[in-house]
Structure 1
Amino acid sequence: MRALVLRHDHASQPGLVGDRLIERGYDLTTLTVVPEERFHSPDVTFAFPSAAEWDLVVSLGAPWSVYDEETIGTWIAGELALLREARDLGVPVLGICFGAQALATAFGGSVEPAPFPELGWTDVQSDIPDLVSSGPWFQWHYDRCVLPPGAVEIARNVAGLQAFVAGRSLGVQFHPEITAPVLRAWLDLDGGTLCARLGIDPDELVSRTLAERPQALARTAELVDAFLDRIALPVG
């Protein structure tokens, strides 16, 4: 089975989600949209493949906003087209943070600024705890999804929508894939400045992420398994 992983920036990785997909028999192909040398000028040209080439699409997070075309340029239109093609072909999508926001937008919803940034480990309120547990889950975002028509909200917190199901696809606002090395990479980029602005100790974030790893492995495995076994199954 073939899974396409859309990595929008060089510092992000499929992490724990990718590990579980491999354990479930998926062969991962990771494509990087914005290379390292263009991180601060991400308006690159990128040719997305056809969704027909894959059995699963995973869209990861990004430090930018889906709606900020002035910054990211026109490549977001190509990703939205890929996600819509995946829906039309019955290819399931797992959207994570920016990926969930792209999924919501592609399916007819939208993205808006959240009432406040979320950065760190937080709990969520879940309607389907054996799919999305209450957490804690790692958050790193300042936007939120507006639910697409026909989609079902399945988790939330005070900041807004945290998970939704749309057909065979699942969007989650949090980061089930997070690992300490990825977090350190984010902090080495613009994340350290963001932490300072919000009064967050980056060393404590890393320490908590290391401490959470055993439980995070179990939560993420449960989420990926439930997604594959219950959401991504063919209809009929």
Structure 2
Amino acid sequence: MRALCVCHDALSDPGYVGAALRDLGWQVDELVVVPEDRHHAPDVEPSFPDSAAYDLLVPLGAPWSAGVDDARIGRWLAPELRWLADAVAGGGAVFGICFGAQALARALGGTVTRSPSPEIGWVGVESDRPDLVPSGPWFQWHFDRFTVPPGAVELARNAAAPQAYRIGRSLGVQFHPEVTPAGIRRWVAGGGAAQARGLGLRPADLVADADRLAADARRRTETLVSAYLNEIFAC
């Protein structure tokens, strides 16, 4: 089985999700949309491969908005939305994470808007299916929220936003099951420290919490990935 993880920026990687897939025997390929030298000018023109060449698409998070940064992102967001919609319409499977979940929701008729309650840090969710989507805590870093697309089933939520939904063979989650302590350090160093301080958070605490919670976070991600593959992907 073959998965493509779409890393929208060079600071992100498949982390625990990629590791869980590899542990289950999957081949995991990676596509970086915006290279490091274009981080502050992300209007690039990548080429998205034929989705039928992969059993699973995993669009990851991004430092941009899937709902209000269209002009800044420019040439790649609309093609990605069509790519995701076409994959689902063709019976394919998508596991969208944060920006990826928002993009999938928008591609399928939902909306993405600024959230009145941005979230950074470790947050619990109210899950209707804790066997499928554990209640956390999950790491969050988002300023937007999505509406669940038509035909989807909301699986988890909190006071800030919907947190998980399923539609067909696809799953979208607002939180970051993939992120490792090293990934959080990259986000903090890559401009996230100012965002965290803007919400009254200490960047050093985010890193310390990531180290402290790493083993449990990885186990929750393994549970999520395995349950998704066994129940939603396999349907």
- Confirm or deny a common fold (TM above 0.5): yes
Amino acid at match of 2:205: E
1:52-94 CA-to-partner distances (Å, cap 9, x unmatched) read 1101100100000012111100201111111112112211110
- Tell me how many residue pairs correspond in the alignment: 234
- The residue aligned with 1:23 is 23
Amino acid at match of 2:49: P
Aligned residue for 1:138, secondary structure, equals strand
- The residue aligned with 1:61 is 61
1:14 CA displacement: 0.4
1:90-123 CA-to-partner distances (Å, cap 9, x unmatched) read 1111000000000101111110111121000010
RMSD over aligned Cα atoms: 0.8
- The residue aligned with 1:95 is 96
- The residue aligned with 1:209 is 210
- Identity over the aligned pairs, expressed in percent? 52
Taking the aligned partners of 1:69 and 1:87, their CA distance within structure 2 comes to: 22
Taking the aligned partners of 2:159 and 2:119, their CA distance within structure 1 comes to: 10
Taking the aligned partners of 2:206 and 2:54, their CA distance within structure 1 comes to: 35
- The residue aligned with 1:164 is 165
Amino acid at match of 2:51: A
Deviates more, 1:120-129 or 1:208-217: 208-217
Taking the aligned partners of 1:25 and 1:93, their CA distance within structure 2 comes to: 18
1:1-236 to 2 correspondence within 5 Å? 1-67=1-67, 68-234=69-235
1:142 CA displacement: 0.5
1:136-170 CA-to-partner distances (Å, cap 9, x unmatched) read 00000010111100001010000010000011100
Aligned residue for 1:63, secondary structure, equals coil
Taking the aligned partners of 2:66 and 2:98, their CA distance within structure 1 comes to: 10
Q: Which runs of 4+ in 1 moved over 4 A?
A: none
Question: TM-score if structure 2 supplies the norm length?
Answer: 0.98
Aligned residue for 1:20, secondary structure, equals helix
Taking the aligned partners of 1:207 and 1:228, their CA distance within structure 2 comes to: 31
Taking the aligned partners of 1:7 and 1:187, their CA distance within structure 2 comes to: 17
